[in-house]
A and B are shown apart, each in its own frame.
Chain A
Amino acid sequence: MLSDAHVAELARAARRRVGVALDPSKAQMYHLRLTPIARREGLTHPGELIEMGLMRPDDPAWDVMVDALLNAETSFFRDRTPFDVFSKAILPELAHKRGESDKIRIWSAGCSTGQEAYSLAMLLHEAREEGRCGPFEVIATDISERLLDRARSGAYSQFEAQRGLSIRRLIRHFERAGDTWRISDRLRASVRFINHNLLHDAGQLGMFDAIFCRNVLSAFDAETRADVLERLGEAAHNDAPLFLGADEDIAGGMRCFTPSRVHQGVFTRITGRAVAA
C-alpha cells in the first residue's frame, strides 16, 4: 500500500499537472493502478516509482503516473437524459440558427475514450439524414493521450458497445471487427480528438454552440472548477448550453453560466458577458 507521503506527492503532481484533486482515501486504488507501471520500470513497488520521480521533478514518468490515475469511466449515451434534452430541445433551435451554411459545433470536454463524443455524432448524423440539421462538427478533448488514442481508434469491446447503445444504433453506426465493434469511418470522420488541458486557454478550439463537460468538474477542487468554468465560458457562444454531470453544478462559475430554468444539469452561457479578465 502507498504511504500517506507517497499519496501526498501524487496529489501534488496531479494538482500541478492537470488540476485534479486526488482523494487520499483511494490510496489502494492508486497503488493498484501504478503497480503495472512500476513493474515496467523494473521496480517492485509503486512507491519506488514516486521516489524516483521526486529526484527528477520534470521526469515524463509523472505524466504517465497522473494519466493512470485519471477517471476514465464512461459509456455511450451515459445517463440518457442529457442526450434526449440535446436532441429534442436544443438541436432544433441550433439547426434553425445555423442553417445549411454554418456548422453546428459541439465540444465534448474531458472525452475519455470517446463514447460521449460518438454518441453526439450519432444524434447529429441521424438528424442530418432526416433533414433536421445542417453540417456539424464534434470536437472532443482530453488531457490523456492514452485515452485519446483509444477514442481515435473507435474500437470498443462487446461489453463497451452494449452499454447504453441500442442494437439498432449499433448495427447502423458500427462494424464488427473480430472481437470488437468499430465506429463507421463516416462517423469517425465527424469527430476530431484533440489533446487539451481544461486549465489552459481553449482559444485554438474555436467557439461552440454546446459544451458537454460531464463528470469532469467533480475531479477538481473549488478553485480549479471555477477556472475551468471560466475557460468553458470563453469558448461558448452566447446562450450556448453547458451540460454537466448529474451531481455537478456551476458553483464558482456563476459569472458566465446560469442554470437552465427548464432542464436539470444544463446551464446557459450568460448573454453578452465577457468572462476574460
Chain B
Amino acid sequence: MKSCLVVDDSRVIRKVARRILEDLRFTIDEAGDGLEALQSCRKTMPDAILLDWRMPVMSGVDFLKQLRKEPGGDKPVVVFCTTENDVAHISEAIKAGADEYIMKPFDGDILQSKFTEVGLV
C-alpha cells in the first residue's frame, strides 16, 4: 500500500480526502499546517502528499519549497488541493515542485483522476 500525507487546516477536508484515498488503498497520515507536515515528513517520507495552500503557521507553497530541499524530499508526489484557482497560483505551485493541482471543490472522481495522472493509482 502507498502512503499519503493529507495536509489541510480543515478537519472536514482531511476527513473527506481520507475516505476517498483509503478507498484507493492508501494509508493516511494527517497534518493541520505546513510545519506539522514538515515534521511528519522528517520522520517518514510518504509516497504522496495532498496539500492545501492557505494554512496557519506555514503555507502549502512554503512547505513544498522546504520539502524539496530535505533529504528524500524529492520523492513524494505532491498534489495541491486548494481554492486558489487562477493560473498565477497554479504556475507558482508547479515552479515550487508540485506534480498536480486540484481546485476545490473536488470530488472522488477528480481526486482519482489526478492521482492517476501522476501514476499514484
Contact = CB atoms under 8 A, between A and B. Distances in A.
Interface in A150-172: 158-159, 162-164, 166-168, 170-171
Given A158-B103, A176-B87, A163 B110 contact: yes
Contacts of B100: 166-167
A40 interface: no
B101 interface: yes
A88 interface: no
Interface residues of B, number: 20
Given A167-B101, A171-B91, A159 B116 contact: no
B68 interface: no
B86 interface: yes
Contacts of A75: 113
A171 B110 contact: no
B86 A162 contact: no
Interface string A118-141: 000000000000000000000000
A171 B109 contact: no
Residue from the set A80, A158, A162, A163 with the largest chain B CB neighbour count within 10 Å: A162
Given A159-B110, A162-B103, A163-B110, A171 B90 contact: yes
Interface in B66-92: 85-87, 90-91
A80 B116 contact: yes
A167 B85 contact: no
B116 A168 contact: no
A176 B86 contact: yes
B90 A167 contact: yes
Nearest to B101: A167
Given A171-B87, A176-B87, A162 B102 contact: yes
B22 interface: no
Interface in B83-121: 85-87, 90-91, 94, 98, 100-103, 105-107, 109-110, 113-114, 116-117
B101 to A, nearest CB: 4
Given A158-B85, A171-B91, A176-B86, A166 B103 contact: no
Contacts of A170: 90
Nearest to B104: A158
A171 B100 CA distance: 12
Contacts of B87: 171, 176
Contact of A168 (B94, B105, B106): B94
B94 A162 contact: no
B37 to A, nearest CB: 20
Interface of A: 75, 80, 158-159, 162-164, 166-168, 170-171, 176
State the 6 A-B residue pairs at the shortest beta-carbon distance, nearest first: A167-B101, A162-B110, A166-B117, A171-B87, A164-B113, A158-B103
19 contacts: A80-B116, A158-B85, A159-B107, A162-B106, A162-B110, A163-B110, A163-B113, A166-B100, A167-B90, A167-B94, A167-B98, A167-B100, A167-B101, A168-B94, A171-B87, A171-B90, A171-B91, A176-B86, A176-B87
